[in-house]
């Protein structure tokens, strides 16, 4: 099948050879990440409902979750939440089949609650969060496209991907994962709302870490300072495993002890006190925000995994890019993938799929071109495996 795959040279300075590089990751407890996670958990729960009842994933898009911050009064030794966080579940779904109404709202709210409780250890979803489901029936036109025998793209949109990660990207990604998935288990004062901003200048990487700390786990300002130093120290030790570059780290730089200002929270999440969140304002499908690399503004979380190219093509772009690097055995420094759909056309037949390749020193593009094309063709051949990969947690969207 001719899929209009174009392989051409990537005419740029390799990311590792550029003087300055910027990378960001919003952690699991950041309000924008919570919005992404809730949207995706609702989509997956609805997908399982449809599969169980009808043997296929029906039309839905739940990618418009809004998180409205609550109120709190944090204090060393323990404060309180004064106003609940409000989470609005918005989108479209198949709500009725053959005259039978589906329990989609119950399923959506239960999935949202389960996700938030699983991420935020100090947050009581029954006391601290108000959930409101306004998911309604989808567009007739889009449902018509969705019900075709062959899977047709629901939009004219593009997805992007790149590989491999640079040292700076790897350090930023792994730093957040280390803090929220590993260190937190040994340091209960560390909340889930973590953001890591990194930049590299030449051979030096600097990280600015914003980490919400839990007030009930910290007795006084001295212990707070000790926790911040432990975060910095442990993260520096880990960074040596991810890069040979020199790494420096600042933690909670907005603190001002003289004014009594600390990043102290009751629940470990800033959304308890006014910070809001929206789907698509955080990490891209590869888990990072990378202004020095190609990016799409599409929100991947919550979109249906069958025909919503805003989700599928961003995932596919990264899968293709990583496999091209892997399959060419170190003969590529950098690859950028851009895939464009056309509404109403099969999702496995893009308008164009562009692979831009920067070969390794001494390697010609012709030596890797056929392999790269084969990788892209292979993923389009098995594009229908993406829903299963998502539902089995083998793919992340943020």
pLDDT band of residue 146 (cuts 50, 70, 90) is low
Q: What is the mean pLDDT of residues 240-247?
A: 96
Q: Which residue do the tokens 């039978």 mark?
A: 100
Give whole-number Cα distances, 120 to 34, 46, 175, 193, in Å.
Answer: 10, 23, 18, 9
On the question of a cis peptide bond just before residue 119, with omega within 30 degrees of 0, the verdict is no
Strands (E), 252-380: 264-265, 277-278, 332-340, 352-359
pLDDT value at position 140?
42
Compute the distance between CA of residue 353 and CA of residue 362 in angstroms, rounded to an integer.
26
How large is the C-alpha radius of gyration of the chain? Answer: 22
In this predicted structure, the answer to whether residue 145 has a pLDDT above a threshold of 60 is: no
For residue 39, which of 75, 64, 13 has the smallest C-alpha distance?
A: 64
- CATH code matching the domain that covers 31-146, chosen among 3.40.50.1970, 3.40.50.2300, 3.50.50.60, 3.30.300.10: 3.30.300.10
pLDDT digits (tens, 9 = 90+) for 310-333: 999 999 999 999 999 999 999 999
Say whether domain 5-13+155-165+287-391 belongs to CATH 3.30.300.280.
Answer: yes
Ramachandran quadrant class, 92 (left: phi over 0; alpha: psi -120 to 50; beta: rest): beta
Compute the distance between CA of residue 320 and CA of residue 193 in angstroms, rounded to an integer.
31
pLDDT digits (tens, 9 = 90+) for 167-221: 999 999 999 999 999 999 999 999 999 999 999 999 999 999 999 999 999 999 9
Sign, Cα dihedral of 93, 94, 99, 104? negative
Antiparallel, parallel or unpaired: β 100-101 and 96-97: antiparallel
Strands (E), 53-183: 60-61, 66-68, 71-73, 80-83, 85-89, 92-93, 96-97, 100-101, 129-133, 136-137, 158-163
167-272: CATH architecture = 2-Layer Sandwich (3.30)
pLDDT value at position 286?
97
Strands (E), 84-189: 85-89, 92-93, 96-97, 100-101, 129-133, 136-137, 158-163
pLDDT value at position 150?
79
Domain map (residue ranges) of the chain: 5-13+155-165+287-391, 31-146, 167-272
Q: What is the pTM of this model?
A: 0.94
Please give the structure tokens belonging to residue 151: 């899977």
105 by DSSP, 3-state: which? helix
Give whole-number Cα distances, 351 to 160, 320, 323, 354, 380, in Å.
Answer: 14, 17, 21, 10, 13
Please give the structure tokens belonging to residue 373: 């094309």
First to last CA, the chain: 32
CB 308 within 8 A of CB 316: no
Burial class (CB in 10 A: 0-12, 13-18, 19+), 303: buried
pLDDT band of residue 138 (cuts 50, 70, 90) is low
pLDDT value at position 1?
72
Q: Is 167-272 in the same CATH topology as 5-13+155-165+287-391?
A: yes
């Amino acid at each position: 099948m001719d899929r209009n795959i174009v392989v051409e040279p990537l005419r740029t300075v390799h990311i590792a050879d550029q003087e300055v590089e910027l990378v960001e990751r919003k952690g699991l407890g950041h309000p924008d990440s919570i919005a992404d996670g809730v949207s995706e958990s609702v989509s997956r729960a609805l997908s399982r409902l449809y599969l169980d009842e009808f043997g296929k994933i029906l039309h839905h898009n739940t990618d418009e979750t809004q998180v409205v911050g609550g109120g709190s009064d944090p204090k060393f030794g323990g404060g309180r939440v004064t106003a609940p966080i409000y989470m609005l579940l918005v989108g479209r779904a198949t709500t009725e089949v053959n005259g039978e109404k589906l329990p989609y709202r119950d399923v959506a709210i239960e999935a949202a609650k389960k996700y938030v409780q699983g991420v935020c250890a100090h947050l009581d979803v029954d006391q601290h969060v108000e959930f409101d489901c306004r998911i309604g029936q989808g567009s007739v036109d889009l449902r018509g496209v969705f019900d075709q025998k062959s899977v047709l793209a629901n939009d004219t949109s593009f997805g992007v991907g790149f590989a491999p990660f640079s040292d700076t990207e790897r350090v930023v990604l792994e730093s957040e994962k280390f803090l929220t998935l590993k260190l937190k288990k040994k340091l209960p004062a560390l909340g889930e709302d973590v953001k890591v901003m990194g930049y590299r200048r030449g051979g030096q990487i600097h990280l600015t870490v914003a980490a919400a700390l839990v007030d009930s786990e910290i007795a006084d300002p001295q212990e707070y300072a000790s926790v911040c130093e432990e975060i910095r120290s442990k993260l520096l030790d880990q960074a040596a495993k991810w890069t040979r570059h020199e790494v420096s780290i600042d933690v909670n730089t907005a603190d001002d002890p003289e004014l009594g200002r600390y990043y102290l929270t009751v629940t470990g999440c800033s959304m308890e006190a006014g910070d809001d969140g929206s789907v698509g304002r955080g990490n891209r499908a590869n888990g990072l925000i990378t202004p020095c690399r190609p990016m799409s503004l599409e929100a991947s979380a919550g979109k249906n995994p069958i025909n919503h190219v805003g989700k599928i093509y961003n995932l596919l772009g990264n899968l293709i890019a990583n496999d091209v690097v892997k399959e060419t055995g170190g003969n590529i420094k950098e690859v950028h993938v851009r895939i464009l759909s056309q509404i109403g056309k099969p999702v496995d037949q893009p308008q164009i799929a562009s692979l831009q390749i920067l070969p390794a020193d001494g390697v010609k593009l012709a030596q890797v071109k056929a392999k790269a094309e084969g990788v892209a063709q292979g993923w389009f051949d098995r594009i229908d495996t993406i829903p299963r990969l998502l539902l089995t947690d083998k793919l992340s969207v943020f």
